[in-house]
Amino acid sequence: MGVVENRPRSATARAASEVEVEFLTPTEFLDQIAGSPQAARELIQRLSQRLREADDRIVNEERRSGRAHRTRKDDETQTAVASVNKAYLAAKNPWLQRQLHTPLGLGDLPFIVGRGPVAGEGLPRLQPDLKLDDTVPFRLSRNHFMIEKRDECYYVHDLCSTLGTIVNGEPIGNHFRGDDAALRAGENEVIAGGVDSPFVFSVFIA
């Protein structure tokens, strides 16, 4: 290969037993290939064999990698199914998915959603389980809403947020009739921060 490509050698040969060898300079080697169709054919066959072996190794490695990837995906799917059997919170629009990449199982309740701090802000009254980034003018409050379970039923409780929370079309919070809204079985839509807020969540209850 080194002679054919006019590059430094790519391998070193070591005899495993007694052998007779013939040394050829690059020019002698190329002249022999040019003058002997049989030698040229043998060279092509050897190079073809090495190329095929390299291709086979690449294919086998990709297959092993694919199987490992499928195994990881299967594990993730099983985890998601396990979460679905109880309850989970997910982003419902592409904008929020940039922050909330994967659904979050709601195994430990209550579960508090709020805004992450900006410079100069102190600690919120409650420590959020999910902190999301927001910019001025803020849609999300430091403690915005909480998902809790009472008497085997799931509820969204607005935590005195500035702009309130909308649960399946029903607004809750300081400026509305109440602070609580029950979640139904299946998918629920929860919007934090008003009707045109980008903080739109999907809450699934089995």
Does the global pTM surpass 0.75?
Answer: no
Query: Among 34, 54, 78, where does a domain finish?
Result: 78
Query: Among 43, 60, 78, where does a domain finish?
Result: 78
Strands (E), the chain: 87-91, 104-105, 111-115, 130-132, 145-150, 153-158, 165-167, 170-172, 180-182, 186-192, 200-205
To the nearest whole percent, how much of the chain has pLDDT over 90? Answer: 48
Instruction: Count structural domains, the chain.
Output: 2
55-59, 176-180, 202-206, range with the lowest pLDDT: 55-59
| SS3 (DSSP) at 130 | strand
Note whether 196 and 87 are within 8 A (CB).
no
On whether both 72 and 161 belong to a single domain, the answer is no
On whether both 105 and 74 belong to a single domain, the answer is no
What is the DSSP code (8-state) at residue 193? S
On whether both 112 and 199 belong to a single domain, the answer is yes
Which residues form the domain of 164? 87-205
Nearest to 108 by CA among 145, 136, 142, 149: 149
Residue that the structure tokens 């009254």 belong to: 125
pLDDT tens digits, one per residue of 136-153:
999 999 999 999 999 889
Please indicate, yes or no, if residue 108 is contained in any of the structural domains.
yes
Query: Among 27, 47, 78, where does a domain finish?
Result: 78
Q: What pLDDT is attached to residue 67?
A: 63
Note whether 52 and 26 are within 8 A (CB).
no
Length of the chain: 206
Please provide the average confidence, as pLDDT, over all residues in the chain: 86
Q: What is the CATH number of the domain that holds 181?
A: 2.60.200.20
On whether both 108 and 65 belong to a single domain, the answer is no
